[in-house]
Amino acid sequence: MDLLSLLLNQGGGGPVRQLGQNFGLDENQTASAISSLLPALGQGLARNASAPGGLESLLGALTGGGHQRYLEDPSALGHEDTIRDGNGILGHLLGSKEVSRAVAQRASEKTGVGVDILKKMLPVVAAMAMGTLSRQTAGARSSAPAVAPDSGLMGMLGQFLDTNRDGSVLDDVMGMASKLFQK
């Protein structure tokens, strides 16, 4: 299952409903906003995971960051510390506020949701996405001694790491690795 589907279905949709309520959006607008914001976050995850030490860093953040709390207690989505945490996540994934603003602008053009709302929503969606990935990581670690490449976290990351969309991440990861060794 992809990250969008997992995020939208967490807790029976409670976190998504709470997010929509926090920003005055109905469920369709909220789902549309999330689906327009997630690709940029996924690209940032893939970029970071492919950097030297990036995958280890990501796994460390997913296992030790406490991000699941955003899914377990949707009321936390409106807290200032959630926004602060989400902004930290965005800093790692997107690199700058200018990129975050551009992501919100593009999402606004696609969804019709106001850019100001999407700018405020983006850090919360980033926190929710990390919560979803964190939950998947914990589930994969507890359910299998070795994670299959097409399941759990690796399956979700695979959709972002498979840059040439040939169904295999191996050639893409090997290409990234060869670029690192050439430096």
At residue 101, does pLDDT exceed 90?
yes
In this prediction, residue 107 carries a pLDDT of 94
Ordered by start, the domain boundaries in the chain are: 3-182
Within 51-96, where are the H helices? 54-64, 69-72, 80-94
**Highest mean pLDDT pick, 12-26, 135-149, 168-182:** 12-26
Q: What is the pLDDT of residues 27-44, one digit of tens each?
A: 899 999 999 998 898 888
At residue 45, does pLDDT exceed 90?
no
In this prediction, residue 5 carries a pLDDT of 80
pLDDT band at 164 (very low <50, low <70, confident <90, very high): low
Can you tell me the distance from the alpha carbon of 108 to that of 118, in angstroms, rounded to the nearest whole number? 7
Two structure tokens written together for 128: 């929710």
In this prediction, residue 119 carries a pLDDT of 96
Q: What is the pTM (predicted TM-score) of this model?
A: 0.76
